[in-house]
Amino acid sequence: MILDNLEPAKVWFYFEEICKLPRLSKNEGQIRQYLLDFADRNNLESKTDRAGNVLIKKPADPGYKNRKSVVLQSHMDMVGEKDAATEHNWLKDPIVPFIDGKWVKAKDTTLGADDGIGMAAKLALLSDKEIKTGPVECLFTVDEESGMTGAIQLEKGFFESRILINLDSEDEGELFIGCAGGMDTIADMPFAREEADSDHTVLKISVTGLHGGHSGDEIHKGYANSVKIMTGLLQLLTSKYGIRLSEFNGGNLRNAIPREAFAHVTCDKDYVDDIKKDAAEYLQKLNDEHSFTEEGIEITVSTACSVAYVIDHKSHKSLLNALDQCPHGVISWSEDMEGLVETSTNLASVKFKDNTIMIVTSQRSSVESLKEDIARRINRIFTENNATVHHSKGYPGWKPDTNSEILKITSQSYRKLFNTEPVVRAIHAGLECGLILEKYPGLDMISFGPTIKGAHTPQERLDIETTKKFWSLLVDVLNSIPVI
């Protein structure tokens, strides 16, 4: 085992076990079976619902039977991101964790600490014979990262507890009592194929080396968007050299700020050197603009093999116009809670498929009407540029309750354990709490976790010391749950 010298030992043991199991969104079969087998081995009651969510129950220990029941909740799936040059089969290959100073990281891929560490903590608790608690239910939901399907389809009455602790937060020392709601706006833009000029040179343009990041937690940090960068460069080259676009692929996931983008274009062979020079100057400008947020932006222009087609002039213009006009980043800040992003949008990905270009954007807001406003604005931009637009159903936010009983219990535990005051706040990222609250009105909820940096990128890393604090807090909170 790679992590067997870390504490708490059981948490790290189960985290490393989880790393061995492929578990991308909508492909949680292996981790689901692992959870059910774990329950059988430990003589614990378990069940699944139609969505594929799993519930494992730990009965109250002697002397704790009159305590209120608590449900611990985390999601099974993870975001699969890797650098373009890395070979990794997400349906078969394990995550390979390693220790780097104060962090646990993964070799060239996302680590899956979001939310593998939440699952690991629950498995450690369920299998520990020394920790005494009242009744605990552990809910493992599916498909959180790509649509929150598990929470959306969660059956009423699947669990019994009236207190929920979500283990999907990423900043130790902060207790979350609210989150933004979200939705996706997706544009499909048709195009016609035209024969590429046989005298033209084919160029591959690559934008790489960006930070990327979680489109909720890190949207306010000013990280560059590879799709926006590529769009600006293609517009420049179109206006100066009349390039023709054959393909444009950038970004991967709806909830990740895109780190890479690639395009194939054709141009008059006499312009190749000038295009390379302009690309280098464009890169210098980007480095000046993003000197505080990006360290490794790279733009490369290289000759490539022939392309099968170029897209028609009208679609070429419409695509670049729409991507240029499409907003990305913070739209507004909350007036109720200092430092909280109120509304944002993420231009997440551009993909060519058959004769259609699909553009995925995602919107978040703690105010439902503002979420819908920015979605409508994006709809208009793409509709006016010949695209067909549809919106996902979305998910609701979670309104903060500063009088929450579980908030008071958790705050007291934190002060007792660490002799400092926790920060109580809402989060701009989406949590499943809002959706679960719809099914279980009146549920008393809180969310906390260890420190995770770079979630949804290959730079994802999990802080070792805060994982120990996270575990201590969880155990103490469960020991402090009052009687019925």
Decide: residue 89, CB within 10 A, 0-12 exposed, 13-18 middle, 19+ buried. exposed
Pull the structure tokens for residue 300. Answer: 């490369």
From CA 153, how far away is CA 163, in angstroms rounded?
20
From CA 1, how far away is CA 405, in angstroms rounded?
40
What is the DSSP secondary structure assignment for residue 269, as one 8-state letter? G
72: closest CA among 448, 482, 454, 463?
Answer: 448
Pull the structure tokens for residue 443. Answer: 């549920």
Q: What CA–CA distances, in Å, run from 287 to 14, 220, 280, 376?
A: 42, 19, 11, 33
From CA 153, how far away is CA 48, in angstroms rounded?
12
124-129 own/partner pairs: CB under 8 Å, 24+ apart: 124/8, 124/10, 124/11, 124/13, 124/14, 124/471, 125/58, 125/72, 125/474, 125/475, 125/478, 126/38, 126/39, 126/42, 126/44, 126/56, 126/58, 127/10, 127/38, 127/42, 128/10
Per the CB < 8 A criterion, the answer to whether 363 and 375 are in contact is yes
Which one of 16, 28, 77, 137 is the catalytic residue? Answer: 77
Work out the number of other CB atoms within 10 angstroms of the CB of residue 475: 20
Give the Cα-Cα-Cα angle 371, 219, 296 (nearest 5 degrees).
150
From CA 151, how far away is CA 440, in angstroms rounded?
11
144 is catalytic: yes
* Phi, psi for residue 168 in degrees, rounded to 5: -125, 30
Which one of 16, 81, 143, 144 is the catalytic residue? Answer: 144
Whether omega before 400 lies within 30 degrees of 0, making that bond cis, reads: no
Sign of CA dihedral 433, 483, 60, 17: positive
Per the CB < 8 A criterion, the answer to whether 143 and 28 are in contact is yes
- CB-facing half-sphere around the CA of 443: CA atoms within 13 A: 31
Q: What do you get for the CA distance between the two ends of the chain, in Å?
A: 42
From CA 396, how far away is CA 399, in angstroms rounded?
9
Residues 6+ apart with CB under 8 A from 248: 230, 234, 261, 262, 263, 319, 350, 352, 357
- Residues annotated as catalytic (active site), given as ranges: 77, 144
